[in-house]
Amino acid sequence: MPHAVALQRSNVRILVYLLFTIQLVSMGAMEMSGPFWPVHLRGLTASESFFSFASIAVYVGPMLGVILTSAFWGRIGDRYGHKWMMIRALAGLSLTQLGLALANDIWVILLLRFLQGAFAGYIAPAQAYGVSIEAPSRRARLFAILQISTNVGSLLGAVVGGLILDYSTFFWINLIAAVLCAVCTVIAAVSLPNVPPVKKAPAADNAVPGNASTSVWRGSPLLPLLVVMGILLMARMLPQTSFSLYVGSVFAVSNSVTGLCYGLLAMGFIVSATAWTRYFEHLSQGQTLQRITWVVVGCVLITAVAGVTRNPLVFVITYFIWGVLLGATTPVLMALISKTTDSSRQGHVLGIAQGTAQFASISGICAGGLLSQAYGLQYTYLFVCLAYGVALVSMAALRYLPALTLPLRR
């Protein structure tokens, strides 16, 4: 690792825990308002059509902002250092949350949400900074730890936001979130050491002239890895819009049981992700991809059970097991993506990966909503199984096509 050699193992561990805490608090602050935007927007307009549009746009806007700008911010981080991109992102979160606390016009809210994604985008620079201090063999564990912090923050943030809204107004949710993000900004600026950017290796004399960014893709499995990760994330998001309706109509259970099912997916990921990464970190890239294929087969089987069962207890158990299996997908694939890339381009590539993840999430949410309306709720998990089947085909191509597998067998 280029810069981590200058840091003792214990110091790196402390820095990773600090990254975990900052991401947990900042992402939790953002999720305090997450479930309650429709409630807030409902009081700002009497138009049903405009309310429906705004209820979708308020969630899609930040994702679009990330998609459009994450690769750009990643390149800036590669050039000037990822710590500054983390500070920029946290400051952006704080300022936009403050603006959202003061905004009472829906169009202003939607604009601020888009800017929040475009100018904040904290996750990718945090990952790139972590890569710059952590050993390459432990990258999968790093990505798992950071994703666990996001999941824990999301769970706690939603609970805290609900408590605030029970006793106060939506204004205080956003204001408290702005203060928390500002505190995280100061802590990151003061506590995290500045890691100088890695200098790009000089181009070979026989290099083909052209845009330097093309070298990120040439002779690399980066694109198929991104495709596989995107399909897996899309499959995960397909039930998102229809989940509560599906559980309510099929099992006729209370909202608390519905919430339990939803939370157990994240809980399964939280308890399994680091164990999965410890298992994968000593395997070659080809062996890793082979074993992830079996994990995806498990996802096909467990979501098939979720789709056919009419027993709420079985459904709850399948959702937890599904979360356990998901702990072996995104963090491990992110580590593979990181390892395919030169150290001087980590910010750029991880920014692309983050944009891909956001695009896949939007696609899954939209496709799931359209499919459930067109074919009915009863087929929700059939479509999830089919999406995982497409991922299996993509992974088989990545493993067995010579042009793609060559870099994976080094």
Q: For residue 177, give both structure tokens.
A: 């979130």
Q: What is the pLDDT of residues 42-56, one digit of tens each?
A: 888 888 888 878 877
Mean pLDDT of 70-99: 88
pLDDT tier at 120, thresholds 50, 70, 90? confident
Checking if the pLDDT of 255 tops 80, the result is: no
Report CA Rg, the chain: 21
Question: Residue 98: which region, alpha, beta or left (left: phi > 0; alpha: psi -120 to 50)?
Answer: alpha
**What is the rounded distance in angstroms from the CA atom of residue 341 to the CA atom of residue 352?**
12
Domain boundaries, the chain: 1-193, 219-410
Residue 196's pLDDT is what? 77
Please tell me whether the overall predicted TM-score, pTM, comes out greater than 0.75 for this model: no
Residue 410's pLDDT is what? 43
Q: For residue 185, give both structure tokens.
A: 């900004």
Give me the CATH code for the 219-410 domain, please: 1.20.1250.20
Residue 60's pLDDT is what? 83
Fold of 1-193: Growth Hormone; Chain: A; (1.20.1250)
Helix (H), strand (E) at residue 71: helix 48-80
* 1-193 shares its CATH topology with 219-410: yes
Mean pLDDT lowest for which of 9-23, 77-91, 211-225, 240-254?
211-225
